[in-house]
A and B are shown apart, each in its own frame.
Chain A
Amino acid sequence: MPTYKLKINGVPNEIEASPDMPLLWALRDNLNMVGTKFGCGIGQCGACTVHVDGNAARSCQLQVSQLDGKEITTIEGLSEDGSHPVQQAWKEVDVPQCGYCQSGQIMTASAFLEKNTDPSREQIRSAMHGNICRCASYNRIENAVVKAAQKKMA
C-alpha cells in the first residue's frame, strides 16, 4: 500500500493506506486519534469535523491522498489540555449528554469563531446547523458558542 504524509496537530506523520481512505479512518485506526467520530460517513452529521488549513471540514469526505501539505487540526490538537476557549465554554455550560458528537461540534464552533469573532445568535445557529446532536443539547451548544466568543474577546 502507498504511504502518505499527513501533518496533524503540527506533527508530521507517515501512514500506509489505500489512497481513498478517508482522513477519519486514518486518524482513528492508523494514528489512534479517536476523538474524531464516525457518525454517518457521508458528510451529513458533522461528528467527524476537523480543521484543514483552519477551515472546518468533514474528515469522512477527505481522502488521505489529497492532504499532502495541508495543516490538519483535530480535537486532540485544539489545545494541549482542553484549555481552548471553546472547550472551556463547553465545560462551563456542561454541554454534553452522551457526548459523542461534541468533538465535532467543538471543531465546527472553533473554526467559526476564528472567522467571526462577535457572532449574533442567528449566525451561531446557522454555523452550527450542519452538526447533529441526537441528544439535542442544542440550547447548550448555542450558549457555549456565545460564551466562547466572549472568552476569546476578553
Chain B
Amino acid sequence: MSSTINTKFSRRSFLRTSSLASGGMLIGFNFFTACKDSVKMPVDIAKLNYNDFNAFIKISNEGMVTIFSPNPEIGQGVKTSMPMLIAEELDVPWENVNVVQGILDTQNYTRQVAGGSQSIRFGWDALRETGATARQMLVNAAAAKWGVDASECSAKQGVITNGKGETLGYGDVVNEAAALENERATERAAKIAALAEGEEMPAETIKLKDPKDFTLIGTDIGNVDIDKIITGKPLFGLDYKAEGMVYATVLRPPAFGQVLESYDATAAKAVPGVIDVITIGEKAKAMMAKEQIDWTAKLASSEKVVVIAENSWAAIKGKEALQAEWSVSTPLESTKAHDKILVDLLDGNEFTTLRKDGDVEKAFKQADRVVERTYESPFLPHNCMEPMNFYANVTDSKIHLVGPVQTPASAASTVANLLGRDEKDIRLEMTRMGGGFGRRLYGDFVYEAAEISDKIRKPVKMFSTREDDMTTGVYRPAIKYRIAASIKNGEVTGYRLKEAAVNGNMYGLIPNFFPAGAIENYQVDVATYNSNITTGAWRAPYTNFLSYAEQSFLDELAEAIDQDPVEMRMNLLEKVKETTDDRIEYSAERLQDVLKLAVEKSGYRNPKDGVFQGVSAYYCHNTHVAEVADVVMEGNQPVVKKITVAVDCGIVVNPLGAMNQIEGGAIDGVGHAMFSDFVFENGMATSNNYDKYRLIRMKETPIVETHFVKNTLSPTGLGEPALPPAAAAVAIAIKKATGNRVYKQPFISNMDAKPILG
C-alpha cells in the first residue's frame, strides 16, 4: 500500500459528475470556485458547458481517460504536464490518457492565462486533488459492487483490487460511480439545506500520494500533440478554417503617432481575389472614449484599412496595393531620442523608490571607493513564428472566436464591450499557439477580427504578415539601469539600482530579488518615460534584462574587491539566510545550491584551455537558476559554445518537457543578448523582417546542459526562469575572453564598448 498524505482541502464542492448518454462518466471541475448547486452536468459529450466548469475528465466504459485541459498552450508544455498531475493521482496508465484542449470559460476561470510561468505552480494541488477524488469515486463504486468496505480496496494503473485479490477495471465501474456520485450529491444538498445558520459542512479529506510513490510525475512524457506536429495536421490558429470564411489583412499606421488621413482602394480592389476594402477602428475608439483601456489604446487610436479577400495571397497583395495618407497625431519618436531621455532620467532626481534599506547616501559618502556602471537594452519584438491572427464570426445571435491568445477571458470580455454584446453570446476556442513570449497576452488582433466580422457579417480570418507583426506590435521596452555600489574595507556596504524605462517600471516583488536583502544599505529607484510606442510583457518581463545588468555588475564588484565571484555571491547569500523580511521571496539556500551545482557541473574551477567561463545566478518566477557560459575565441569573435544550467524548480513534473523549456530559455537569452536589435526612427521600426532583424540560428547555438537540484518541494514554472541568467553569464565570459566588458545589448554590435561611466 502506498503511503499517502491527507489534505484537508476538499475537491468535492468543486466537482460534479454525470453518466454520459454514450456510456462512461464525466467529471467536471473548477479550480477556483465551488460549483453552483444548480449547475447541471451534460450527458452528451458534445455539449460540454465551460461556463460552469473549466475542465473535464471523461472516463469511458473501456477505461480510457480523456482530459480536457484548460490552459492555453504556447509551447511551454502545460498541455502535457498539467494532465500528468491528474493522471498521477487518478492512477491510470498514460497510454490510456488522451488530452484535448478545453474551450474557455470566460466567466469563472481566473487563471486561464499562459504567462508568468505559473500554470504548474497553481495547478499542482488542485489537479492532483481532482485526480485523487476521481480515483476515490471509482474505488467506492467497486467496493459497493463487491459489497466490501472501500478501505479494503486499492487502485493502481486503472485497476481496482479488493482484499481477496479480485480486480475490476475503471471502465467496469464508471457507470456505477456516476450513479453513486449522483446519490451522494443529493445527500449532500440535503445536508447543506439542513445546516443551521453560520454552520458549515465539515471539510472532507482526500488522500494524495507521497511524492516518493509517484509513477508518472518525474518521468519523461513526450508532447501530447507530437504526432499532429510532425505530420502537419491543423493545430494552430492560422490553420483554422470554417465554411464561407474570408481572409483579411489590416493596414495599420506605419509609424507610432500616425493616424489615417485618407486612402485610395482602387488598385487594391483591382487585385484578383480581393472582395472589398473597408475601414475599422470606430468601435475601438468609441470603447476607449468610454473607459480607461489598456495599451491597445495606441494601436486603436487610428482607423485602419482592411482588405477582405478570397485567399491569403490576395489579401496580402491587396494591402500592398492600398494607397494611404497618414497624419501625425502625437510626436514621432526615435531610439536616438530615447537614449538621451533615459540617460537624462538616470542623471536626474525624479525617482520612485521601490525598496530602501539603511542609508545608501551615507554609505557612499563613507566609502573607500564607489563603482558605478550603466547597462542598456533596446526594444525587442516578440517574433512569434506564427504571426498574429484570429478567426471571428459575428452574427446577430452569437459571436464565435477561434485562435491563439494567451488571455482568452479578457479577450472575450473586451470583444463583448467593443461590440456592445452580452458576454454570454461569445464562444472562444483556443488553438495551439505558434509561440507566445508575452505577445499573445494582448488581444488587439482578436478585437480587430471581431470588428471586421461585425462589419461584414461573415466569418473572417484576420492575419498579420511578418512585417505587420514586427512593425505594429508590442515590444519589450527599452530600459537602462545604472547601478552603483560602495566599497569600504573590502566589503560592499551600499548598493543603489536606478531604472529608467519606457512606459513602465519593474513591478511586484522584483525590487526585492537578489541581491536585495544581502547588502545593508540598499535602494531601488525607478523612473519612467511615457512613449506612444506600445510596450508590454516579453518573456521574463524586466528580469530578462535586469538579471544581465545586476549579475554583470556583481562580477565587476567581485573584481573590485578582489574576491572570487562565486565566493562573493555565496557570502552575500549567507547574509540573507536569517532574513525576516517577507518581501524576500527567494531562498538563499536554494540559490546557493544551484550556484554550487552549476559550478561543479561546468568544470568552472578547472576550465579547459581556450575556454572562458562566466557564471550568474538568478531567481525569478519562483524558480532558482544558475548558469555558466563557455565562450571560446574564433578569430576575433567570442563564440558561446555551451551553457551549463542548474535549476531548482522543486519536483520536476516532466523532465523531458522541463529540459526543453530550459534549453530554449537559455538559448533565447543568449540569442537576444548577442544579436537582436530594434531601432525606431520617426516613429517607425527600421527592421521589419528576418533579413534585417537577427534571431539566433543553428550555427550560433550553444549546447545547453541541464542539471536539476533534486528535492520534493512543490513544483514551480520553467517557461521563463532559464532566460534571465544567460546574458550575464555570456557577458562575463566575453570579458574573460576579450578583456572587455559589454554594457549594451546586443553584444555583437557593442562588443568593444568602453564603460560609459566609472
Which residues of A does B touch, CB under 8 Å? Answer: 1, 17-18, 20-22, 25, 28-30, 32-42, 44-45, 47, 74-76, 78-79, 81-82, 87, 90-91, 94, 96-103, 106, 125-126, 128-142
A20 contacts which chain B residues (CB < 8 A)?
Answer: 313, 317
Query: Of B241, B314, B661, B695, which one neighbours A134 at CB under 8 angstroms?
Result: B695
Contact among B241, B466, B660, B698 for A40, CB-based, below 8 A: B466
User: Would you mind naming 22 contact pairs between A and B with Cβ atoms under 8 Å apart?
Assistant: A17-B311, A18-B313, A21-B313, A29-B247, A32-B241, A37-B386, A41-B466, A44-B690, A91-B226, A91-B230, A94-B222, A94-B223, A94-B660, A98-B74, A98-B75, A99-B434, A100-B435, A103-B232, A106-B230, A132-B695, A141-B698, A142-B698
Determine how close the nearest CB of chain A comes to the CB of B654; give it in whole angstroms: 10
Known: A42-B689, A94-B656. 12 other contacts (CB 8 A): A18-B272, A36-B232, A37-B236, A41-B465, A42-B690, A75-B231, A87-B230, A90-B229, A106-B230, A129-B697, A132-B385, A138-B696
CB-CB under 8 A from A90, the residues of chain B are: 226, 229-230
| Complex contacts, B225 vs chain A, CB 8 Å | 96, 99
How many B residues face the partner with a CB closer than 8 A? 66
Contact B434 A132 (CB under 8 A): no
Q: Which of B226, B671, B698 contacts A128 (CB 8 A)?
A: B698
> A29 vs B463: C-alpha distance in the bound complex, in angstroms?
13
A97 touches B75 (CB 8 A): yes
Closest Cβ–Cβ distance, residue A96 to chain B (whole Å)? 5
> Taking the nearest CB of chain B, how far is it from the CB of A93, in angstroms?
9
The 4 A-B residue pairs with the shortest CB-CB distance, nearest first, are: A35-B232, A98-B75, A100-B434, A75-B232
B231 in contact with A82 (CB, 8 Å): yes
B745–chain A nearest beta-carbon distance, Å: 17
**A86 to chain B: closest residue by CB:** B230
Which residues of B from 683 to 698 have beta carbons under 8 Å from A? 689-691, 695-698
Within 8 A of A (CB), among B643-699: 656-657, 660-661, 663-665, 667-668, 671, 689-691, 695-699
- Max count, chain B CB within 10 A of own CB: residue among A39, A82, A136: A136
**Docked CA distance A97–B656 (Å):** 11
Other-chain contact of A140, B232, B234, B238, B663 (Cβ < 8 Å): B663
Among residues of B, the one whose C-beta sits closest to the C-beta of A137 is B664
Question: With A25-B311, A97-B76, A126-B699 as given contacts, are A136 and B435 in contact (CB-CB < 8 Å)?
Answer: no
Q: In the complex, which of the residues A1, A32, A42, A128 contacts B466, with contact meaning CB atoms closer than 8 Å?
A: A42
Please tell me which one of the listed residues B227, B272, B663 contacts residue A137 in the complex, with CB atoms under 8 A apart.
Answer: B663
CA distance A103 to B385 in the complex (A): 12
> Which of A38, A106, A137, A139 contacts B238 (CB under 8 A)?
A38
Among B77, B236, B273, which residue has its beta carbon within 8 angstroms of that of A18? B273
Q: Are B664 and A136 in contact (CB-based, < 8 A)? A: yes
In the complex, chain A residues whose CB is within 8 Å of the CB of B698: 125-126, 128-129, 131, 138, 141-142
Is B313 in contact with A25, judged by CB distance below 8 angstroms?
yes
Contact with A along B292-334 (1 / 0, CB 8 A): 0000000000000000000111101100000000000000000
Give the nearest-CB partner of A33 in chain B.
Answer: B232
Bound together, the chains give a CA A133 to CA B466 distance in angstroms of 15
Q: Given B231, B432, B689, which contacts A44 in the complex, CB threshold below 8 Å?
A: B689
What A residues does B250 contact at CB under 8 A?
Answer: none
- Closest chain-A Cβ to B270's Cβ sits at a distance in Å of 12
Q: Is B233 an interface residue (CB 8 A)?
A: yes
Partner of A136, one of B226, B689, B701: B701
Please provide the chain B residues from 229 to 261 with a CB less than 8 Å away from any CB of chain A in the complex: 229-236, 238-239, 241, 247
Contacts of B433 in A (CB 8 A): 98
- A residues in contact with B661, CB < 8 Å: 97
User: Which one, A25, A47, A96, A132, contacts B229 given CB within 8 A?
Assistant: A96
B387 at the interface (CB under 8 A from A): yes
Residue on B nearest A26 in the bound complex, by CB: B313
Tell me whether B384 and A134 are in contact (CB under 8 A): yes
User: Across the two chains, which residue of chain A brings its CB closest to B433?
Assistant: A98
For the complex, what is the distance from the CA of A81 to the CA of B386, rounded to whole Å?
25
Is the CB of B703 closer than 8 A to any CB of chain A?
yes
**Which B residue's beta carbon lies closest to that of A145?**
B698
**Cross-chain contact B664 with A97 (CB below 8 angstroms):** yes
Contacts of A125 in B (CB 8 A): 698-699, 701
Task: For B412, list chain A residues within 8 Å (CB).
Answer: none
Chain B residues lying within 8 Å of A76, measured Cβ to Cβ, are 231-232
B626 at the interface (CB under 8 A from A): no
Chain B residues, CB < 8 A from A29: 247, 311-313
Whether B465 and A134, one on each chain, are in contact in the complex, defined by CB atoms closer than 8 angstroms, is no
A-side contacts of B236, CB under 8 Å: 37, 100
- Whether B551 sits at the interface, judged by CB under 8 Å, is no
